[in-house]
Amino acid sequence: MKLVESLLAKCRQGVVVDVRIGIHWTAVVADVDGAQHCGLASTLYERGPHSHEPDVPQAGKLIGLPGHELAELVHSEKPILASLGVAAMNALLPPPPRSQTDANAEDLLARHGKGKKVVLVGHFPFVERLKSRVGELIVLELFPHGEDLPATEAPGVIPQAEVVAITAMTLVNHTLESLLELCTKDMLVMVLGPSTPLHPIFYDWGVSILSGSEVASVEPVLKTISQGGNFRQVHRAGIKFVNMVKQEIAG
């Protein structure tokens, strides 16, 4: 997981001041140099038989821990702990440059995918609308439905694309690096979703666009996550879209 290690190395020192694990989203708030920063990640939870083993071993004792201790959980094989790790990592990474665009991922994909073959890893709510805005759209999904293809077909599908967009949830399930290795230098590659770490280290991995989000109003967002809010509700509570575009693409 070289990409993950590179991201962890870019994280700042901080102390965990709040943690919320909702049914859709996980949030970690860290105090970094006297300022609070909130990071998000999709909550992935592996449901199975009831067990006496805790899902989060340190539940109730996370506040006050060094942020890096939580961020290292990104390596965990337990999805819920990996979600916690990605959220902590996003809280500790330096803020993205202020000059970045605030368009949503759908519009960016439509612009760069016009007349082209687009492969989207992850079934996003905008899939049906996007089909008419690009040349061809193929959706790879871990739990496919409708016209989606199973994620296992990625090795045969991604290399044929002109534009590839990958959900940042693949950081949580540890498949992002293998998916990026299927991409070629001629493709436009995008990582998208609120879990996306907004750091230019991705450019070294062939990614040209990072389409993520930033928590602008921490308390309303935490309250909404705690009450089971989905992304539309969390967005309204205080999230703004943030995109980082590699200079060659932006120009």
218-226 vs 231-238: helix axis angle to the nearest 10? 160
Residues 33 and 134 in one domain: no
Residue-wise pLDDT for 172-183, tens only, equals 999 999 999 999
Token couple for 237: 């509570």
State the residue range of the domain holding 191: 105-216+237-250
Residues 172 and 196 in one domain: yes
Sheet with 35-42, strands from edge to edge, namely 15-21, 25-32, 35-42
247 pLDDT tier (thresholds 50, 70, 90): confident
Residues 66, 11: contact at Cβ < 8 Å?
no
Mean pLDDT of 109-130: 96
**Rounded Cα distance, 31 and 15, in Å:** 5
45 pLDDT tier (thresholds 50, 70, 90): confident
Token couple for 182: 């299927």
Mean pLDDT of 129-135: 96
Residues 80 and 133 in one domain: no
Domain assignment present for residue 138? The answer is: yes
Longest dimension (CA), the chain: 55
Predicted confidence (pLDDT) at residue 108 exceeds the cutoff of 70: yes
Domain assignment present for residue 128? The answer is: yes
Strand, helix or coil for residue 139: strand
**Rounded Cα distance, 175 and 179, in Å:** 6
Task: Find the CATH number of the domain harbouring 14.
Answer: 3.30.390.100
Domain assignment present for residue 221? The answer is: no
Strand, helix or coil for residue 124: coil
Domain assignment present for residue 231? The answer is: no
Domain assignment present for residue 111? The answer is: yes
